[in-house]
Amino acid sequence: MKLHPLRAHWLSGLLFLGLIVFLLLNSGCSRQLPSQYFRLLSFGTLVELEVIGVDERRAREAYETLQQDFTFMHHTWHAWKPGPLGRVNEAIAEGRTIAAPPSVLPLLKVSQKLAAKSDYLFDPGIGKLIELWGFHKDNLQPHAPPPAEKIAAILAQHPSIRDVHLDGFHLACDNPTVKLDFGAIGKGYGIDRAIERLKEMGITDAIVNAGGDLRAIGSRDGNPWRIAIRDPDGGGIFALLSVSGDEAVFTSGNYERNFTWEGKFYHHIIDPRTGYPAEGTASVTVLHPDATTADAAATALFIAGPKNWYRIARQMGVKFVLLIDTQGEVYMNPAMQKRVELQKPVAEIHISKPL
């Protein structure tokens, strides 16, 4: 069909206008993709979810799915309340062999691997020590530290996650002093599952943030996600970081759970070699592609401290570390130094060899 020249002109004009509108809308979109923000409570902390570029219905669907998942995980991995992990701990204490619950098995296996790589500084088998210190309680009150003899009695039995033996689904433990407590890795493992779930749902740009421990995928409307690292001394912002693509940022700090008794400060990260809160470190931040490793490594490096963090980081395959000691001095590897923007003057910065 041949168009009348005038009509053709009119049509091409309309097409051009359409193109402009399309471009405008599109460029508007790329500058301002919808961002949806949700909050829920899990793992004893506020979990924040932000998703970019999906409509409200899909975002809400994602939020509801994560809410169910987190409730399930919290119940499954609670070391102190009835539930799958509680049953495992009962069986270990009684010396019984059991069929490991499928909901606990993968977390147990990955924990054993990471514990071995950390030289058992990260060791979820020391639940009895955590319990003795009272750090498992929901509302932690100042109290006298446990008597030295009680700590020594547990240490004499060398409880460790390495005492748990798996043969297919059969779980046996030859040390009844072992009590599994996944407090140092469960949040990381949970966030990894949450991110996997979001990816399954076709979401490509999102952040799951549990009290400053997080994993982010994609970008925030073309810009990296900006992450603040808390100052262990006073609680302001110590440093800023940019994260994009797919990366987790986890911090273990002595400010998270602690109490002071007769002028002495006690915090919740226990050195399995001494049975006492690890000394020398105020906080450790780890960046890693998966949150499970980042979480376990942050705890392990906290205990390793300024002298040994580098060796343990290498063993655990971690490539970005920032450690702040109890004097306020900073230790990091060169790659981490390139990425952090310190927000306050620091007395001394120690840069290690590359990791």
- To the nearest whole angstrom, how small is the minimum distance from the Cβ of residue 91 to Mg ion? 25
The candidate with the shortest Cα–Cα distance to 267, out of 161, 153, 160, 184, is 184
Nearer to ligand ADP, 136 or 220 (CB): 136
Q: Does 181 bind ligand ADP (CB under 6 A)?
A: yes
Q: Does 133 bind ligand ADP (CB under 6 A)?
A: no
Nearer to ligand ADP, 189 or 331 (CB): 189
Residue 123 phi, psi (nearest 5): -145, 95
Q: Report yes or no: 85 and 78 within 8 Å, Cβ to Cβ.
A: yes
Nearest-angstrom CA–CA distance, 101 and 83: 10
Nearest-angstrom CA–CA distance, 140 and 130: 12
- To the nearest whole angstrom, how small is the minimum distance from the Cβ of residue 29 to ligand ADP? 37
- To the nearest whole angstrom, how small is the minimum distance from the Cβ of residue 349 to Mg ion? 24
Token pair of 214 as six digits = 């997080």
Q: Report yes or no: 47 and 198 within 8 Å, Cβ to Cβ.
A: no
Nearest-angstrom CA–CA distance, 114 and 293: 7
Nearest-angstrom CA–CA distance, 205 and 104: 29
Q: Does 130 bind ligand ADP (CB under 6 A)?
A: yes
Q: How many residues bind Mg ion (CB under 5 A)?
A: 5
Residue type, 248: A
- To the nearest whole angstrom, how small is the minimum distance from the Cβ of residue 134 to ligand ADP? 11
Q: Does 121 bind Mg ion (CB under 5 A)?
A: no
Nearest-angstrom CA–CA distance, 112 and 125: 9
Contacting range for ligand ADP; rule: CB under 6 A; set: 22-30, 121-129, 323-331, 337-345: 121-129
Q: Count the neighbouring beta carbons within 10 Å of the beta carbon of residue 334.
A: 11
Q: Does 184 bind Mg ion (CB under 5 A)?
A: yes
Token pair of 300 as six digits = 């392990």
Q: Does 50 bind ligand ADP (CB under 6 A)?
A: no
Nearer to Mg ion, 176 or 211 (CB): 211
Sole binder of ligand ADP in the list 192, 205, 213, 325 (CB under 6 A): 213
The position carrying tokens 């700590």 is 151
Nearer to ligand ADP, 211 or 224 (CB): 211
Q: Within positions 282 to 301, which residues make up the interface with ligand ADP, using CB under 6 A?
A: 295, 298-299
Sole binder of ligand ADP in the list 92, 303, 312, 318 (CB under 6 A): 303
Q: Report yes or no: 130 and 181 within 8 Å, Cβ to Cβ.
A: yes
Q: Does 286 bind Mg ion (CB under 5 A)?
A: no
Nearest-angstrom CA–CA distance, 291 and 134: 26
Sole binder of ligand ADP in the list 50, 119, 231, 256 (CB under 6 A): 256
Residue 142 phi, psi (nearest 5): -60, 135
Q: Does 184 bind ligand ADP (CB under 6 A)?
A: yes
Contact set with Mg ion (CB under 5 A): 184, 252, 295, 298-299
Contact set with ligand ADP (CB under 6 A): 122-124, 126, 130, 135, 181, 183-184, 213, 252, 256-257, 268-270, 272, 295, 298-299, 303
